[in-house]
């Protein structure tokens, strides 16, 4: 994922109750920024969303920042579309082969 990517929320469970504005499962959003977690969850990434903003909070190290949402809560819509198109093409190929087999069996 990168800034500007259109995503859909697939997990809205257990988001910190202190965050007033949260993504909802099944809704579409755009990535506004990607944050690398350093203090609370090193190695993980969070997403800030164009459609949602929240007041600043103070981190464990005393720095203020806007809370982000774990990037694993989202799936790129483009990747879902590509996966669907691949399966659609496989299905069309299968149906063509099936039709050819039926014609061969009936001849």
> Which residues form the domain of 35?
6-77
The per-residue pLDDT for 80 is 58
* Total domains, the chain: 1
73 lies in some domain = yes
1 lies in some domain = no
66 lies in some domain = yes
Q: Which residues contact 11 (CB under 8 A, 6 or more apart)?
A: 25, 72, 73
99 lies in some domain = no
Question: Could you read off the pLDDT of 17-61 as tens digits, one per residue?
Answer: 889 999 999 999 999 999 987 656 677 899 999 999 999 988 777
101 lies in some domain = no
32 lies in some domain = yes
23 lies in some domain = yes
Helix (H/G/I), strand (E/B), else coil: 96:
helix
Question: Could you read off the pLDDT of 70-98 as tens digits, one per residue?
Answer: 999 999 987 655 555 566 677 777 778 87
């Amino acid at each position: 994922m990168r800034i500007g990517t259109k995503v859909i929320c697939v997990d809205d469970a257990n988001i910190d109750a202190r965050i007033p504005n949260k993504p909802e499962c099944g809704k579409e959003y755009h990535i506004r920024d990607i944050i690398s977690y350093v203090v609370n969850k090193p190695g993980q990434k969070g997403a800030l969303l164009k459609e949602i903003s929240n007041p600043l909070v103070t981190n464990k190290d005393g720095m203020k920042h806007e809370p982000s949402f774990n990037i694993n809560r989202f799936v790129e819509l483009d990747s879902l579309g590509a996966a669907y198109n691949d399966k659609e093409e496989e299905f069309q190929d299968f149906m063509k082969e099936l039709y050819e087999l039926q014609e061969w069996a009936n001849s």
